[in-house]
Amino acid sequence: MAEDNETRGQDEARREFSGAGEMALHILCFVISVGHIYVAFDPIISELQRNAYHFAGFAFLAAAYNPMFTGRIRSRGMLIFDLTFGTLVAAAAIYLPAAETPIYDRGVNLIWLDWVAIALCVIGGIELTRRMTGIVIPILVILSLTYVGLWGAWIGGVFSFPGLSWETIAFRSIFGDDAMFGTIARISSTYVFLFIIFGAFLLRSGAGDFVINLARAVAGRMVGGPGIVAVIASGLTGTISGSAVANTASTGVITIPLMKKAGFKPTFAGGVEAASSTGGQLMPPIMGAGAFVMSTFTQISYEKIVAVAALPALLYFLSVAFFVRIEARRLNLQPMPSDGETLGSAFRKGGASFVIPIAGLITMLVMGFTPTYAAVFGILAVIASSWLTENRMGPKAVFEALVMGAKGMMMTAVLLCTVGIVVNVISTAGVGNTFSLMIAGWSGGNLLIAIVLIALASLVLGMGLPVTAAYIVLATLSAPALAGMISDRVVIDALAAGTLAEPAKAVLMLGAPEHMAAFAAPMSAADAAAIIGGLPLEVAAPLRELVVPPEAAVTAILTAHMIIFWLSQDSNVTPPVALASFTAAAIAKAPAMATGVASWKLAKGLYIVPIIMAYSPFLSGDWLVALEIFFFSIFGIYALAAAMQGCMERPIGWIERAIIAVAGVACLWPGNLMIDIAGALAVIGFLIFNIRKPMPSAEPT
């Protein structure tokens, strides 16, 4: 679950230790991991202390492993400087929780030692984040702090901010609810880290090898089998890592050569792996750090989020699999001979250490246990179940897994704590509400236009921010507007049907008195949408409260955040900055930009599924409704993939592509079962007709 931007040269620039230095750092990693696990069960310290100590430990590790200047990675002087810097930042973070009560006793007045400690933590977060993720987040932090303290008063318009004293800014940057040691740090120090440790134990137990073996046993002998193996392996590996680049690097070294050997072009093979691996952060039960952040932002239980996320994630992986199958048929590729791997042999080698912990984790979540408890028991389950496999975990393996978990958490921990400063400024200055109003205004109340605007913003942010950071910033800025527009669909339907209650009509008359005569009778959905879209916020908000049922409002909030979370993944596969694609291109020995284009094409589910979420009750929690939407969406996405690739089981011409694209859109059409059925029947009919066509000779690869 380590963030994707860690691949921006950081692995190559990471300082390596040996001997006593390596052992000392490994012992520190072990202590940090064990400490977090213990505090999860017995909270012997306050939340502020836990978050601050969390930052302290990982700040020191980040300073030790990541030199300030990569060109001097072997310099002894640089090592001494980095260790000193990390020690000072860690000491400052440990000091600040103890200083909180005295600061309040002085009437929130800071003494010089408080100033030094706060400055060290903020500067430490900025610098260490720069070392591990690049320059964008540090610039955002500096702009945020100076905005509320300096230049916000110089600009006019809606973003003008009168400014705060530097003492207030310093205090709020550390002790605020959304600050450096606030809500997001709490997520990092509990859920995220424990699940990263859980993933490390799975990897150390050999679960990654089992995933590859299982995928090869299931799909290895199908047409396009190696590509399907990549999809299955990346989906299952996503339950361990939740990182697109980590998925690509770990599974791609096996799947990409297999795909090339089967006859796929190198760019397509790399694109399949990158697109499949991007789904890792969409796949429950882990879903990367974003699922935990989403739960905190929305106040919706983690269990509900991962439950409703399952079908959309499966739909995404099916969309990539459809592209693979269609491309294999277009190239007339033949199944590869069996390598001897079977389901039985795969499970005997390492199935227990993957299936038992994952099943236990999901069971505990369904039973109502907190994710923290479920993760810790999942770790214990990995250790126990590994003794049923060939890779038994003894004390040494447990130690190595705990060290691996802490080292894998370094960047995420420092990143999330530092991003808290930006979120705190957005909350303090009200920038999020202003930006949401701007999105609502620019889109003119049109939900699709709003999603396109957010998708463009996520792409731009994703060029410089890790996925989780991009989601946090974008959700803080735009989720309220998107959730409101999704809720407005309920209001529009009621207005169009003429079923608004009298209190709602009274509120509506305040915002649109010129349409008063039309409120008493049914009207077209387009007219209703135009009226609701033109309402000012002070009228639209109370109208939603009167008309939208509480459960629908919760679904709207969850849907808005899930859409933003999905769109935040596109930087992995969208040029010019496509991190997972470039990683896959290196493995495939293919042109980086061409692989990026291929992966962007294959990952169209990142855009199609959010639109399905926005216009249908896909995430409502009603499983019958969700399954119905899922069923027709399968046909729709397959048809769109066929239209894009120009092939089903046999190649199709341009006229057929246009017709099948229309049928695919019909399958995805919201709220009209007859249109969905007609579209699905059309797709099935075209597929049957297509299968009966003769297969042309294979195209050159």
The 10s digit of each residue's pLDDT in 54-110 is: 999 999 999 999 998 877 777 788 999 999 999 999 999 999 999 999 999 998 899
Residue 275 vs residues 146, 147, 252, 282, 318: alpha-carbon distances, Å: 39, 38, 11, 12, 11
CA 686, 692, 693, 698 dihedral sign is positive
| 606 vs 631: CA distance, rounded Å | 18
Inter-helix orientation angle 225-238/207-219, to 10°:
150
Question: What's the CA gap between 86 and 76, in Å, rounded?
Answer: 15
CA terminus-to-terminus distance, the chain? 35
Q: Note the pLDDT of residue 129.
A: 92
Residue of 512, 576, 514, 565 lying closest to 543 (CA atoms): 512
The confidence score (pLDDT) of residue 701 equals 42
The number of residues in the chain equals 701
Cβ 308 vs Cβ 621: under 8 Å: yes
3-state secondary structure of 45: coil
Are residues 251 and 10 in contact, defined by beta-carbon separation less than 8 angstroms?
no
| Cβ atoms 432, 480 nearer than 8 A | yes
> Could you tell me the two tokens for 276?
């499949």
Task: Give dist(CA 393, CA 654) in Å, integer.
Answer: 57
Q: For 149-194, write each residue's pLDDT tens digit.
A: 888 888 877 778 888 899 999 999 999 888 899 988 998 898 889 9
Beta strands in 100-231 (DSSP E): none
User: What is residue 625's predicted lDDT score, i.e. its pLDDT?
Assistant: 94
- What's 612-670 look like in SS3? HHHHCCCCCCCHHHHHHHHHHHHHHHHHHHHHHHCECCCECCHHHHHHHHHHHHHHCCC
CA-nearest of 354, 356, 374, 355 to 364 is 374
Show Cβ contacts of residue 304 under 8 Å, excluding neighbours closer than 6 positions.
558, 621
- Rounded to a whole number of angstroms, the CA Rg of the chain reads 26
pTM: 0.84
C-alpha–C-alpha distance, residues 685 and 681, integer Å: 6
Which residue, 518, 435, 439, is CA-closest to 486?
A: 439
**CA–CA distance from 264 to each of 112, 252, 582 (Å)?**
64, 14, 18
11 strand-pairing partners: none
Structural domain spans, the chain: 4-135, 430-564
Cα–Cα separations (whole angstroms), residue 342 to 72, 213, 348: 50, 8, 10
What element of type H or E holds 570? none
- Give the pLDDT confidence score for residue 10 in this predicted structure: 45
pLDDT beneath 50, residues of the chain: 1-12, 699-701
d(CA 417, CA 183): 9
